Structure 1
Amino acid sequence: MTPAPDRLDAHTVIDWIRDPDAVTVIDVRSPAEFETAHVAGSYNVPLTLLGEHADQLAARLDRQVVLVCASGARAAEARQRLAGVGADHVHVLDGGIGAYAAAGGEVVRGRARWPMERQVRLLAGSLVVAGVALAWRAPKASLLAGGVGAGLTASALTDTCTMARLLSVLPYNRGPRELTAGEILGRLPGAQQAA
C-alpha cells in the first residue's frame, strides 16, 4: 500500500471518515476553539499537551490519523512532533476546519468565539498602531511596533506563535475545563488495548 501524503485535502478526509474504524481525527486547537467548531467525531488534544505526551499518544494511535487546526500550521507542528516519536501514519488536514466545512464535511458548532489567528491579528495590529501613535510623544514607543514586527517574523520563520499561546490562557479562550493527559488519552480509540 502506497503511503498517503502528509497533507490531505478536505474531500479525502470526508471520504476517510465514512469508515470511522479506519481513521482518528485529532483537533490540536485549544478546548475553546474546539468547542466553537470541530469535525464531528474528532478528539481534542491541544498542541501543548500533544507536545508533552507525543510518545504516549503515538503508542495509542493504531490507525490513520488526521490532525486538524484552524489553518494547518499547528496541525503540521503536531505532525512533526508525532513523527519525531515514530508515528508514520499521521496526516494534516490542508486548510484546516474551514476547508473541511467548505467541502461539506460535518462540523459540530458550539459557542462562537473569534479564531485564534484573528485574535492574534487584532492584538498585533493594535500594538503596532499604539507604538506608532505613542512615538509622537515618546520616541522609544516605536520600539513596541518594531518588537511586534520582530515577533511576527520569528513566528513565521519558526511556524509557531507565542502570542497565540499567551492569548489562549485568557478566560475568553479557555472554554471548557482542560482535560488531563490521562483523560484525553483514555478517550482515544486504541486506548483500551494500550492501557
Structure 2
Amino acid sequence: MTTPHALSAHQAHTRLHELTVLDVRTPGEYAAGHLPGALNIPLDQIPRAVPAIRHAADRGDVLVVCASGARSDSACRTLAEHGIRTATLAGGTGAWATAGHDLHHPEQASRATWDMERQVRLTAGVLVLVGLGLGLLHPAFQLISAAIAGGLAFSALTKTCGMAAVLAKLPHNRPQPGDIDATLATLLDHRPPK
C-alpha cells in the first residue's frame, strides 16, 4: 500500500502547474470556490473513479483537496489501498485561502450550497434543540441531544463525520446526472500543463 503525504498550501501553490488536482467536496462546495484547475469528484464517488485517477497518477502527481483536509485524507487512504500515490492539501481550501491564494469561482455557480462543516453545525444544533425541547415533554427525548454530543466528540477524536456522510447524500449535495461521467472523461484526457 502506498502511503499518502501532505503538501502545504505554499508547496501546492508552487507546484500547481504540474499537479492534477481533485476536489472531493460536494458539488455545491466545489462551485462556491475551488483551486484553479481542480476537478470535482465527491468523496463517495472515489471508488468509481479509481481507474481514471490511476490513469492520471501514471502521468503525474495527483493532489486531493477538500475544505479542511479530513475528506481528502480519507480519499488518499482509499486510493492508497488501490496502489495509487497521491498527496493531500494540508488544511484544505481553508488553508489555501488563508495563505492568500485565490480560489476559482465559476462565473455562474449553478447553486449556492453551504460548506459541509456549516451544514453539520446547523443539523447538529437543530437536533440538540429538538432533543432538549422534546425533553420537556419526556426526559427520554434528551437522549437525542446526548447522542448528537457523543457523535460530535467521536467525530473530533477520529477525524471522521458520520453526519457529513449522511448530509452528502442529500439532493443539493449530489452531482447532477452526467457530471461525474464528464469529469472522469476530462480526467482521462487531462494533462497538467508543464
Q: Same fold (TM over 0.5)?
A: yes
Shift of 1:86: 0.6
Mapped partners of 1:44, 1:179: distance in 2: 13
Q: Assess if the C-alpha contact under 8 Å between 2:25 and 2:43 holds in 1.
A: yes
**Aligned partner of residue 86 in structure 1, secondary structure:** coil
Q: Equivalent residue for 1:16?
A: 15
Q: Assess if the C-alpha contact under 8 Å between 1:185 and 1:191 holds in 2.
A: no
Compared CA separation, residues 105 and 179, structure 1 to 2 (3 A): farther
Q: Assess if the C-alpha contact under 8 Å between 1:37 and 1:107 holds in 2.
A: yes
Shift of 1:191: 6.2
Alignment root-mean-square deviation, CA: 2.3
Q: Assess if the C-alpha contact under 8 Å between 2:33 and 2:104 holds in 1.
A: yes
Q: Equivalent residue for 1:81?
A: 78
Question: More strand per residue: 1 or 2?
Answer: 1
**Aligned partner of residue 109 in structure 1, secondary structure:** coil
Mapped partners of 2:55, 2:170: distance in 1: 32
Length, aligned pairs only: 183
Alignment of 1:50-61 (within 5 A): 50-61=46-57
* From 70, 92, 96, the counterpart of 2:67: 70
Mapped partners of 1:161, 1:55: distance in 2: 26
Query: What is the percentage of aligned positions where both structures have the same residue?
Result: 39
Q: Assess if the C-alpha contact under 8 Å between 1:54 and 1:81 holds in 2.
A: no
Mapped partners of 2:113, 2:56: distance in 1: 31
TM-score (norm 1): 0.82
Q: Equivalent residue for 1:130?
A: 130
Shift of 1:140: 1.1
Q: Assess if the C-alpha contact under 8 Å between 1:28 and 1:45 holds in 2.
A: yes
Q: Structure 2: any 5+ residue segments left out of the alignment?
A: none
Q: Equivalent residue for 2:100?
A: 104
Q: Structure 1: any 5+ residue segments left out of the alignment?
A: none
**Aligned partner of residue 71 in structure 1, secondary structure:** coil
Q: Assess if the C-alpha contact under 8 Å between 1:23 and 1:66 holds in 2.
A: yes
Q: Equivalent residue for 1:117?
A: 117
TM-score (norm 2): 0.82
**Aligned partner of residue 38 in structure 1, secondary structure:** coil
Q: One-letter code of the match for 2:14?
A: D
Mapped partners of 2:48, 2:146: distance in 1: 32
